C-alpha cells in the first residue's frame, strides 16, 4: 500500500474510514466492562516490516520493499527491559522477524535469560536457502514457532498468500516435524495460526483445531501442537480489499453485531506490550499499525514499566475485530 502510494496507507485515513462504526468504548461501557492494562507478561517486538511475502490480508503492510528495521539502541533497550522487569515471554514478529540481521543473537540472548521466545514465522522463510539451518537453531533454543497458515489445503492458502505458498509451507512444516516440533512429548511447540480467507468470521477454535489435526495428518502427514484462530482486522490491506469490493460497512456491522463481552476478558492488550521497530510503545500490534501510541517516552528513553500499569487502553472501532464471536488475539480465541 505504501509502495503504491495509496491514501489508505495513512493510519489516520484508515481510522477515519472506520469511524462510521459505533464506539467500541461505548460497547464496553454498555456491557459494564473496563479495559485497563496490567503488568506486561509478554513483550512483543516488531523487528521490522521487511518480509519475503506480501500477503493480501497483511495488517502490517509488510513486504519485500519495506526497509523499516529495529535499530541497535531499541533492540538493546528491549533486552535490558526484559532482564530488569523479568518479563517471562518475548514475542518476535514482523514482517518476517527472521530477516532481522540480529535475529539469532536476539534469540540466543533471550533464552540465556530464561525467557520463552515465540517466533511468528510465515513458514516460507524457512525454505529460503540462507535460512535452511534456522529450524535446527530454533529447536536448539526451544523457541515456540507460531506459524501462519490460512488453510490446510492449497487453494485458499495460495489465494491469500500467492501461488506455491502452500506447498512451500508444507515442506517447512515437515522439516519442523522432523526436528520434533508438534510431536507429542517433544517439548517443541508448533502453533498454527489461521484467519478466514474472506469476510466471514472464524469458526469456533476448538472445533476447527480438531478438523485441522485430522486433515493435515490425513492429507499431508503433518502434525502440530495447537491452532489459533484470528479474525481479519479491518485495517491496512484487508481494509483495502473491503473498500475495493464495497464491503467495509457490511464487515464492520458483522463485527459489531458479533460483539462478545466475554471475549474482552482475555484480550492480549491486558498483558502484552507492543514495541514498534522504532521503539514506540503500543497496547497491541493492531494499534501499532494505526499509530495509536501509548503516551510517554519510547523504549530507549523509558526507565521502567510502573507508569504503564493500570493505564486505560486506547481503542477504536477496529477493536470489534478482537471481540467478535470467540474473540481474537495473538494468542488465538479469547472466549
d(CA 273, CA 212): 30
Lowest mean pLDDT among 50-64, 153-167, 181-195, 281-295: 50-64
**pLDDT one-digit tens code per residue, 143-160:** 999 999 989 988 888 887
**pLDDT one-digit tens code per residue, 66-124:** 989 999 999 999 999 999 999 999 999 999 999 999 999 999 999 999 999 999 999 99
* Averaged pLDDT for residues 30-45: 95
- The domain spans of the chain are 36-249+266-313
SS3 readout for the chain:
CCCCCCHHHCHHHHHHHHCCCCCHHHHHHHCCCCCECCCCCEEEEECECECCCCCCCCCCCCECCCCCECCHHHHHHHHHHHHHHCCCEEEEECCCHHHCCCHHHHHHHHHHCCCEEEEEECCHHHHCHHHCCHHHHHHHCCCEEEEECCCCCHHHHHHHHCCCHHHHHHHHHHHHHHCCCCCCCCCCCEEEEECCCCCCCCCCHHHHHHHHHHHHHHHHCCCCCEEEECCCCCCHHHHHHHHHCCCHHHHHHHHHHCECHHHHCCCHHHCEEEECCCCCEECCHHHHHCCCECCCCCHHHCCCCHHHCCCECCCCHHHHHHCECCCCCCCCCCC
- What pLDDT is attached to residue 257? 96
Phi and psi at residue 63, in whole multiples of 5°? Answer: 175, 180
Predicted structure pTM score: 0.95
Nearest one of 280, 267, 219, 226 to 45, comparing CA atoms: 280
- What pLDDT is attached to residue 92? 98
**pLDDT one-digit tens code per residue, 38-70:** 999 999 999 999 998 877 667 777 888 898 999
**CATH topology assigned to domain 36-249+266-313:** TIM Barrel (3.20.20)
- What pLDDT is attached to residue 4? 65
**pLDDT one-digit tens code per residue, 256-275:** 999 999 998 889 999 999 99
Amino acid at each position: 500500500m505504501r509502495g503504491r502510494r495509496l491514501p489508505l496507507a495513512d493510519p489516520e485515513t484508515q481510522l477515519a474510514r472506520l469511524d462510521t462504526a459505533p464506539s467500541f468504548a461505548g460497547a464496553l461501557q454498555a456491557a459494564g466492562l473496563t479495559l485497563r492494562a496490567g503488568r506486561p507478561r509478554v513483550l512483543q517486538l516488531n523487528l521490522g516490516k521487511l518480509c519475503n511475502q506480501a500477503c493480501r490480508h497483511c495488517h502490517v503492510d509488510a513486504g519485500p520493499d519495506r526497509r523499516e528495521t529495529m535499530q541497535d539502541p531499541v533492540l538493546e533497550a528491549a533486552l535490558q527491559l526484559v532482564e530488569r522487569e523479568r518479563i517471562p515471554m518475548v514475542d518476535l514478529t514482523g514482517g518476517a522477524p527472521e530477516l532481522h540481521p540480529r535475529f539469532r543473537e536476539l534469540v540466543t540472548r533471550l533464552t540465556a535469560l530464561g525467557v520463552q521466545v515465540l517466533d511468528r514465522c510465515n513458514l516460507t522463510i524457512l525454505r529460503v536457502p540462507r535460512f535452511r539451518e534456522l529450524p535446527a537453531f530454533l529447536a536448539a533454543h526451544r523457541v515456540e514457532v507460531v506459524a501462519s497458515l490460512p488453510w490446510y489445503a492449497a487453494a485458499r492458502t495460495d489465494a491469500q498468500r500467492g501461488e506455491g505458498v502452500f506447498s512451500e509451507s508444507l515442506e517447512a512444516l515437515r522439516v519442523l516435524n522432523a526436528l520434533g516440533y508438534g510431536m507429542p512429548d517433544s517439548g517443541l511447540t508448533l502453533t498454527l495460526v489461521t484467519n478466514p480467507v474472506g469476510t466471514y468470521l472464524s469458526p469456533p477454535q476448538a472445533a476447527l483445531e480438531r478438523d485441522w489435526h485430522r486433515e493435515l495428518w490425513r492429507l499431508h502427514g503433518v502434525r502440530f501442537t495447537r491452532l489459533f484462530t484470528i479474525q481479519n482486522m479491518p485495517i491496512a490491506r484487508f481494509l483495502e480489499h473491503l473498500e475495493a469490493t464495497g464491503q467495509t460497512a457490511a464487515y464492520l456491522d458483522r463485527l459489531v453485531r458479533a460483539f462478545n463481552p466475554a471475549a474482552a476478558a482475555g484480550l492480549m492488550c491486558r498483558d502484552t506490550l507492543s514495541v514498534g521497530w522504532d521503539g514506540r510503545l503500543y497496547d497491541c500490534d493492531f494499534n501499532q499499525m494505526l499509530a495509536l501510541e501509548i503516551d510517554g517516552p519510547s523504549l530507549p528513553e523509558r526507565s521502567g514499566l510502573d507508569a504503564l500499569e493500570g493505564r486505560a487502553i486506547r481503542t477504536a472501532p477496529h477493536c470489534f475485530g478482537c471481540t467478535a464471536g470467540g474473540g481474537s488475539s495473538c494468542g488465538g480465541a479469547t472466549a
